[in-house]
Amino acid sequence: MKKIILTGDRPTGNLHLGHYVGSLKNRVKLQEEGNYDEMYVFIADTQALTDNFNNPKKVRDSVLEVVLDYLSVGLNPDKVTIFIQSLIPALPELTMYYMNLVTLARLERNPTVKGEIKQKEFGSSIPVGFLNYPISQTADITAFDATIVPVGEDQLPMLEQAREIVRSFNNIYGSTLVEPKALIPDNESCRRLPGTDGKAKMSKSLGNCIYLKDDSETVKKKVMSMYTDPNHLRVEDPGNTKDNPVFIYLEALSTEEHFKKYLSEYNNLDELKAHYEKGGLGDVKVKKFLYDVIEDILTPIREKRKYYEENIDLVYDILKEGSEKANRKANSTLKRVKKAMLIDYFD
């Protein structure tokens, strides 16, 4: 079986460090390893509209921002097909057919959807399009015969639902669709990077994100005012590294190289942690190191972004070509699906 990697993001704002460690970094690594037959990364604008239908400008503007984020972290259009979801008409068509295979109760049980309904305060006025998005996401995945879907932990229920739909389809109409598998980062700190305020997740609405396009000054301000261990009042106090976002970020981002480069009195994070836990290590010093680490990562990303911002026509060409290629693939899957469903009238 072919190895086909696919993943996407909703364009609702710029991508941040949480996206970087939770998914983007992994994608670039997969791309560089080259151990796949096809790889797709796409901008899920149709899905973004399911809960931002009244804010089309935000979605439209974010499409370009997210593509710039993709290109600046190193996704390479020669190796990865980058496309826009709404330019692939086979996706809503597949969604329509899959809708027959899912009950309302099953959709309402999806824990990620459930959480979002609460968070968005839909109450009992849940838009059909929103509730339906796990089905539409199944279309995204199956249209490309994706076998591997690198995502954040919060997307596991979507993949579960996609697999159910695939099994159900294949059962009824004969073996047609490919069952996908989720791929989540193995580093626990990468799976759920907290906000700079210590809240569970980086989220635009909470204003606790460090964005990939933030400049050095902004990053410095954000890092130096990060939440740490509230009981670590004096330098000599023993500190807690466990639920301390500064250490969680270091866990997710720092390497031994970074220690060599910026904080050579310690060989690695374990040593730094041990010192902090014992007492005698101040927050400012740790934060300065974290700032250096983040800058080390963001500097080349900013440079690439600048290049693409200055060559924006190139970005549009990448999207246009990627979407054409993606269309050919999705259309061929749609053909297979319609044949299996006996609605291939004049073929």
Check residue 10 for interaction with ligand TRP (CB under 6 A).
yes
What 8-state DSSP symbol labels residue 23?
Answer: I
Using the minimum distance from each CB to ligand TRP, give the nearer residue, 128 or 235: 128
Half-sphere exposure of 60 (CA within 13 A, CB side): 5
How far apart are alpha carbons 229 and 93 in whole angstroms? Answer: 51
Using the minimum distance from each CB to ligand TRP, give the nearer residue, 94 or 290: 94
CA nearest to 149, candidates 303, 223, 37, 41: 41
Check residue 95 for interaction with ligand TRP (CB under 6 A).
no
In whole angstroms, the minimum distance from the beta carbon of 7 to ligand TRP comes to 4
Site string for ligand TRP, 107-146 (x = CB under 6 A): ------------------------------x--xx-----
Check residue 4 for interaction with ligand TRP (CB under 6 A).
no
Site string for ligand TRP, 37-76 (x = CB under 6 A): -------x--x-----------------------------
Listed in sequence order, the residues at least 6 apart from 335 whose beta carbon sits closer than 8 Å to its beta carbon are 344, 347
Check residue 253 for interaction with ligand TRP (CB under 6 A).
no
Check residue 13 for interaction with ligand TRP (CB under 6 A).
no
Helices 111-119 and 156-173, axial angle in degrees (round to 10): 130
Using the minimum distance from each CB to ligand TRP, give the nearer residue, 201 or 285: 201
Interface residue with ligand TRP among 30, 107, 149, 209 (CB under 6 A) is 149
Size of the site for ligand TRP (CB under 6 A): 13
Amino acid at 238: P
Please report, for the chain, how many H helices and E strands are present, in that order: 17, 5
CA dihedral 338, 340, 343, 346 (to 10 degrees): 80
- Token pair belonging to 5: 């990697």
Site for ligand TRP, rule CB under 6 A: 6-10, 44, 47, 137, 140-141, 149, 151, 155
